[in-house]
């Protein structure tokens, strides 16, 4: 049961890249805003250094997030669009296995990497192939 709950928090690869880009954007902006406290509250020379350092690190984080968003966009344009068998919505797939962007179902283009089907469906599939 514990493993199932952990897997539900996973998302598709494209959404994972977008999440990291968003976190870097928000973290960089928050760091730059908090760093300005050194100037706003007049902490003297040390406050100015805090502001300069936090502005530089925040700007680097913003540039890194821009690179991640660019890479995610490039991957998204070359991704294969398939229809999810669970929710029947079109989703983008990167690599051999990925997750649906909406219902987080594990998807695979390679039968060797496909998740195991439920026991009821496996028996039905074997009966139809035997006939």
pLDDT computed for residue 130 by the predictor: 45
Res. 128 pLDDT band, cuts 50 70 90: very low
Cβ-proximal residues to 108 (8 Å cutoff; 6+ apart), any chain: 96, 97, 114, 115
What's the predicted TM-score (pTM) here?
A: 0.69
**What is the 3-state secondary structure of 32-96?**
HHHHCHHHHCCCCHHHHHHHHHHHHHHHHHHHHHHHHHHHHHHHHHHCEEEECCCCCCEEEECCC
pLDDT, tens digit, 9 for 90 and up, residues 29-58: 999 999 998 888 888 888 899 999 999 999
Run of H or E including 105:
none
């Amino acid at each position: 049961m514990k493993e199932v709950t952990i897997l539900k928090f996973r998302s598709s690869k494209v959404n994972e890249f977008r999440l990291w880009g968003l976190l870097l954007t928000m973290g960089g902006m928050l760091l730059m805003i908090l760093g300005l406290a050194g100037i706003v509250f007049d902490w003297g020379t040390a406050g100015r250094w805090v502001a300069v350092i936090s502005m530089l690190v925040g700007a680097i984080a913003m540039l890194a997030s821009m690179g991640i968003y660019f890479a995610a966009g490039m991957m998204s344009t070359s991704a294969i669009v398939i229809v999810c068998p669970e929710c029947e919505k079109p989703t983008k797939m990167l690599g051999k296995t990925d997750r649906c962007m909406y219902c987080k179902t594990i998807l695979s283009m390679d039968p060797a990497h496909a998740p195991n089907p439920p026991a009821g469906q496996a028996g039905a599939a074997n009966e139809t192939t035997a006939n």
